[in-house]
Structure formats: structure tokens, C-alpha cells
């Protein structure tokens, strides 16, 4: 395997171009590798250097902090034309105040999306677009996500039965989930409102906590030991990304 730091990865030694790779590839070197049509999902490309590469028909979606192409810093241009800014740039706050600001802005943006979904029929609210989750299923997944990363490890609560885990985690023995559940959108929104309310209450009390509170380590089911900040950032990312997916599908349904 080529997961070790500093390991040179030669395409001629690769057995299967369709193989999936997970884990720590920090400081790996890809030399002579054919990465055409490769897909990178939820990866950290900070500090990556590409030399003598061919970029044709490349689609990059993510947070851009400093991007230099052929000696030209295109960061400001990209971010200025990104319709999801400034919220995209607020997803990794490092202070309690910034976390509260992000949470408020995410909730504000979701309010308009939920209102848009209210105008759909019940069938449309439960309709899958392109094989993806329906709008109701998306909200159910966000209930699960906030439970996994906040309610259980930070707030001492439990998983709500209606939560839906991500596909890759469906076989994990999540306690309390009911895979046969078929809630209405109102039931899902009520569960979501409860979780969001607890989340905001926790954030409001952060200033009164120990200064090291954000770096405190907690155990998250399936993921192991992480910091409180990691938990917050994951909740923010889930809320942001799934709203983008929901907006895409709502446009198709409309």
C-alpha cells in the first residue's frame, strides 16, 4: 500500500485504477500517475504542490484560501464569484463568537430553504432526485449528524429514532435509530428544531467555559477521539453541504 508519509506512488505499480484509497496520505508523492477522472471527496489538499500537470475539464468545489495557478493567485477572483460565500468561508471558526455567528447564519439560510420546500406537495417532499436523498431524508440525516457530533458526545443526549446515517455508516450499530421510521416533514422539523435549539444553547454558554474547552477531546461513535472544535466544524459542514444539495434538488422539483 502507499499510505506512508513521503512514499512515492508510481502509476505503473498500481494494480487497479478504480481502487479506493482512504487514510493518511500526508506528504505522499504521486509521480507519473494517471489520475484522470479520479474523484476526491472530503479530502484535505492544504499545501499540495502540483508541477508539470495537465488540468483539463477539472471541476473543483470547496473552500479556497490560497490558490495559485501558473503563478497567478486566483483566490480573490474565485471567492468573489462564489455564490456560496461568505458562508463557505465561515465553516471553520476558531472562537466561540465566530461559532455563534456561523450557527446563526446557517440557520437563517436554512429557513428560506425550508420555506421553499413547504410549497412542494407531500409526495415531492419525499421524492428522490437523481437517486439522492429526498428533502425529508436530507433533514433526517442532519438530525442524525448533529446527534452524532453534538447531542451524544457534548450534550449528553441520545440519538433521535428518525435519524438517517450516511450510506458508508449504515451498518454501524447506532443506538436508538429506527430504520422503519417514516416521519412527516413536520415531525422531522420538530426534531431538528429541538437539536438546533440545544446546539445554540451550548454555543451561547461557550464563553463561560474553560478557555481550553474548544480543544477538549471527546469520543465520537465510529470516529473515535476528536476535539470539541472538530465536532462543531463537522456540524457546520454538514449543514452547509446538505443545504446546497437540497437547493439543487428543490430546483429540479420546481
Distance CA 38, CA 40 (A): 7
Q: Is the predicted pLDDT of residue 15 greater than 80, yes or no?
A: no
Q: Could you state, in order of their start, the residue ranges of all structural domains in the chain?
A: 1-59, 91-253
What's the pLDDT tens digit per position in 30-88?
888 888 888 887 788 888 888 888 888 888 888 888 889 888 988 888 878 878 889 99
Task: Quote the DSSP letter at residue 87.
Answer: G
CATH number of the domain at 91-253, please? 1.20.120.450
What's the pLDDT tens digit per position in 134-183?
999 999 999 999 999 999 999 999 999 999 999 889 999 999 999 999 99
Distance CA 7, CA 225 (A): 27
CA gyration radius, the chain: 20
Q: Which residues contact 240 (CB under 8 A, 6 or more apart)?
A: 84, 87, 88, 91, 106
pTM of the predicted structure, to 2 decimals: 0.82
Amino acid at each position: 500500500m502507499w499510505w506512508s508519509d513521503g512514499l512515492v506512488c508510481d502509476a505503473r505499480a498500481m494494480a487497479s485504477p478504480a481502487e479506493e484509497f482512504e487514510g493518511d496520505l500526508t506528504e505522499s508523492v504521486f509521480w507519473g500517475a494517471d489520475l484522470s477522472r479520479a474523484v476526491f471527496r472530503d479530502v484535505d489538499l492544504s499545501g499540495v504542490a502540483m508541477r508539470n500537470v495537465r488540468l483539463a475539464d477539472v471541476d473543483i468545489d470547496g473552500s479556497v484560501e490560497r490558490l495559485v495557478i501558473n503563478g497567478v493567485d486566483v483566490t480573490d477572483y474565485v471567492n468573489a464569484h462564489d455564490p456560496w460565500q461568505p458562508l463557505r468561508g465561515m465553516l471553520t471558526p476558531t472562537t466561540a463568537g465566530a461559532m455563534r455567528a456561523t450557527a446563526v447564519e446557517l440557520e437563517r439560510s436554512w429557513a428560506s430553504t425550508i420555506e421553499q420546500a413547504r410549497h412542494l406537495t407531500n409526495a415531492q417532499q419525499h421524492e428522490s432526485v437523481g437517486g439522492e436523498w429526498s428533502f425529508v431524508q436530507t433533514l433526517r440525516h442532519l438530525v442524525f449528524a448533529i446527534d452524532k457530533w453534538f447531542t451524544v458526545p457534548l450534550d449528553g443526549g441520545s440519538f433521535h429514532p428518525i435519524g438517517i446515517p450516511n450510506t458508508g455508516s449504515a451498518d454501524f450499530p447506532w443506538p436508538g435509530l429506527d430504520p422503519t421510521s417514516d416521519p412527516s416533514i413536520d415531525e422531522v422539523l420538530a426534531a431538528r428544531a429541538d437539536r438546533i435549539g440545544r446546539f445554540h444553547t451550548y454555543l451561547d454558554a461557550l464563553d463561560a467555559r474553560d478557555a481550553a474547552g474548544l480543544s477538549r477531546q471527546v469520543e465520537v461513535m465510529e470516529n473515535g477521539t476528536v476535539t470539541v472544535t472538530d465536532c462543531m466544524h463537522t456540524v457546520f459542514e454538514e449543514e452547509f453541504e446538505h443545504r446546497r444539495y437540497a437547493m439543487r434538488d428543490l430546483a429540479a422539483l420546481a
